[in-house]
Amino acid sequence: MFRLFELLLSARADSVPGVTDFDDFSDYLAIPRVTDLVLAPDGSALVATVASLNKDANTFVNALWAIDPAGEQAARRLTRSRKGESGPAFAPDGSVLFVSARDADDDDEPAALWRLPAGAGEARKVLERPGGVTAVKVARDSGTVVVGASVLPGSLDGETDKSRRKARKDAKVGAILHAESPVRVWDHDLGPDETHLLLPNLHDDDRAGADTDADPRDLTPAPGRALDEAGFVATPDGATVVTTWLVPDEPGFPRSRLVAIDSASGEHRILADEPYVFFSEPEVSRDGAFVVCVRTQDSGYDDPPRNSLWLLDLASGDGRALVDDQELWPVSPVFSSDGTAIFFTADQRGHRPIFRVSVATGAVTRVTGSGHHTNLLVAPDGRTLYALRDLVGSPPAPVRLDGLAIDGEASALPAPGGVTVPGRVEEVTTAVDDGTEVRAWLALPAGASAEQPAPLLLWIHGGPLGSWNGWSWRWNPWLMVAKGYAVLLPDPALSTGYGEAMIRRGWGEWGGTPYTDLMSITDEAEARTDIDATKVAAMGGSYGGYMANWVAGHTDRFRCIVTHASLWALDQFLGTTDYPAYWAREWGLPTDRPERYDAWSPHHFVDKITTPMLVVHGDKDYRVPVGEALRLWWDLQRREVESSYLYFPDEGHWVLKPGNARVWYETVWAWLATHVHGEKWQQPELL
């Protein structure tokens, strides 16, 4: 199956030689990006969220598109606005609720809740809140609407919240008083707003606008930070809302329990709660009797986290493990229409297939043989599935699948997007010293051969619990392939999709087995006749950036290194990252257990670095704070290592704005051209 995938991709890529979407970065930015998919309750309609470049080519804007479930009709755009639309959810009557700031004149105005009528017609605003609406869920049968909204703590109604916000704005106050950790996530600050779950009284007809100013009922009047990054769902009859709810195990160590909220009384009932166990991604069966969720046993100093699917009786709270096989890491569960099975996805050997588990027996079947799947949806017929499917060589696109198949194939549905890549992808494997097979994808230029070997770029994934198993708009190897590089995308120790043993091989020893795995798979790639082993570079972001720094201090085999959003001094990082508790579990606290900080922090090996390094970081990166880059840059400069520092004052962990993304790639291309090919440095024009 995997080999067939490689051959098909290769044939498609080579069928249009010299003409791809990757030869010019503007063409790449112009490709529409499908990011979400929802299904009508009766299975008659699909709506996708598609991000496209705006007319000024300086930001991506979301729009809603109708996708034909039968795959017979072309996709049809449903919404158009300067601000865009997101988070669609179907109501039982076929109308679509979504979140948008589409009528806002001020860029700072928050998003409201809108309804697009079934069939045709103009969208109408149905709910606005002073702090904005952040998410919407709809009860499958009753149509009860539950929204997530931002509320200042202590505001009992919308008018109070509005006046308090105005007072802060008029006084130019941005201060936030925190009483607990964490205080920020990825690229945004937490607070002073809290997320509340509200129950608005919306109509299903054109009178919807009449309720815009009415105060919804607040199901969570004083949540504090409990609903940060919450996942919630309503039962089909709307009588109960099931949500994640953060509580601390100890100061600075929050975890998520599951809470059931009665929609009529507002009464809260703890549904699932265990010390050092996280419950997430709740979904409710169509009869409203059961909840399935992901149960994650927190990591420890000696043990990585463990994922399982957990089945709960909604009335009693009794639960049991449904999938607890540590060869799989199950996520995104959804019930079959009759409740006898649950579908989920899990990383597996460079793919993320769909699986089916029997509720009665626990027997697990792999439904799809290849591909990376997200946004899994189950049709009412009990057999048809829909999802977004992507591959290393093709972006996410909506597909239809047979839920009863074994290693089945997907049927593509017409949708915006689609690309022609400038090469082919193959699988590379090698056996390392302990007998483990390490594998990678290798993306090759179409013309790479023994007569024209390609220079090699080792690209190390982040996480570290992750895998190169699908398409990435941000870390896209084909933009490098278009410049003539072969790109090696390996899954070393700590990667997901290879069972718990693969993670244990690198647990607590970030620069140990993961590093030797990377060097072994690079050796394997360099031994190929279509690779030029004299021209090899390395790069990585986040954990991949950590590893790029580690590589720099332990070998001079690479002509240059690019390190993005990278960890440099582990003790410094632990105290400044947005979520220190996660890393403290694995490494211990530096004051109590300094051994791993001493052994595995790259900054201890700075005197060994001779390889030219390009350091890249965004100031709004809270996961890996910019202080890591500043200290790394200072250390390199003081030791006269050839290096440059590409700094983005307005970006977070990923560098997402189109103009900044262009500069990122142009700078990396120039760095590689200089050090891999010996060309004269050409600074990007926008710098």
- The model's pLDDT over 30-41, given as tens digits with 9 standing for 90+, comes to 999 999 999 999
Instruction: Give pLDDT, residue 589.
Output: 95
Q: Is the pLDDT of residue 291 over 50?
A: yes
CA angle 397, 403, 409 (to 5 degrees): 50
Each residue of 103-120: pLDDT tens digit? 887 778 899 999 999 987
Q: Is residue 116 part of a domain?
A: yes
Model confidence pLDDT, tens digit, residues 305-335: 999 999 999 999 999 999 988 889 999 999 9
Over residues 584-604, mean pLDDT: 97
User: Using alpha carbons only, how large is the chain's radius of gyration in Å?
Assistant: 25
Domain end: 216, 232, 252, which one?
A: 216
For residues 93 and 42, is the Cβ–Cβ distance under 8 A? no
Q: Which residues pair with 561 in a beta bridge?
A: 538, 613
Would you say 310 and 281 are in contact if contact means Cβ atoms under 8 Å apart?
Answer: no
Looking at the 3D structure of the chain, how many domains does it have?
A: 2
The single-letter code of the amino acid at 676 is: V
CATH number, position 461: 3.40.50.1820
| Mean pLDDT of the residues in the chain | 94
Nearest 10 degrees: Cα torsion 230, 233, 239, 245: -20
With respect to residue 273, please indicate whether it lies within any of the assigned structural domains. Answer: no
> What residue type is assigned to position 407 of the chain?
D
Those residues with Cβ within 8 angstroms of residue 293's Cβ, 6 or more apart along the chain or in another chain = 258, 272, 279, 280, 281, 282, 283, 309, 310, 312, 333
Residues facing 66 on adjacent strands: 47, 76
**pLDDT per residue over 442-455, tens digit each?**
999 999 999 999 99
State the residue range of the domain holding 126.
Answer: 79-216
Residue 590 lies in a domain: yes
How do residues 384-431 score in pLDDT, each as one tens digit?
A: 999 999 999 999 999 999 999 999 999 999 999 989 999 999 999 999
d(CA 473, CA 494): 23
Contact criterion met (CB below 8 Å) for 456 and 533: yes
The pLDDT assigned to 206 comes to: 42
**For residue 531, what is the DSSP state?**
E
* Domain-embedded: residue 227: no
Q: Are 67 and 30 in contact (CB under 8 A)?
A: no
Residue of higher predicted confidence among 373 and 326: 373
* Structural tokens at position 424: 């082919």
Gap between the Cα atoms of 543 and 563, Å rounded: 10
pLDDT value, residue 1 = 33
**Residue 547 belongs to what H/E stretch?**
helix 543-552
- If we measure between CA atoms, which residue out of 138, 330, 165 comes closest to residue 235? 138
What is the phi/psi pair of residue 7, to 5°? -65, -40
- Give the Cα separation of 372 and 391 in Å (integer): 6
pLDDT of residue 69 exceeding 70, the answer is yes
423 strand-pairing partners? 445
- % of the chain beyond a pLDDT of 90: 91
> In the chain, what is the straight-line distance between the N-terminal and C-terminal CA atoms, in Å?
45
């895998």: which residue's tokens? Answer: 467
* Residue where one domain finishes, among candidates 216, 250, 273: 216
Reading the block at residue 277, the tokens are: 């166990």
Over residues 226-251, the pLDDT tens digits come to: 999 999 999 999 999 999 999 998 88
Residue 31, in any domain of the structure: no
- Among residues 475, 444, 641, the alpha carbon closest in space to that of 545 is found at 475
Q: Quick check: is 435 in a domain? A: yes
As given in the structure block, the two tokens for residue 177 are 């008083």
Domain C-terminal end among 170, 192, 216: 216
**Residue 255 in domain:** no
Residues 651, 620 contacting (CB under 8 angstroms): yes
How many Å apart are CA 357 and CA 250, to the nearest integer?
35
Whether 269 maps to a domain, the answer reads no
Q: Return d(Cα 476, Cα 487) in angstroms, integer.
A: 10
Hey, which residues does 459 pair with through a beta bridge? 539
76-80's contacts with Cβ under 8 Å and 24+ in sequence apart are 78/47, 78/116, 79/116, 79/123
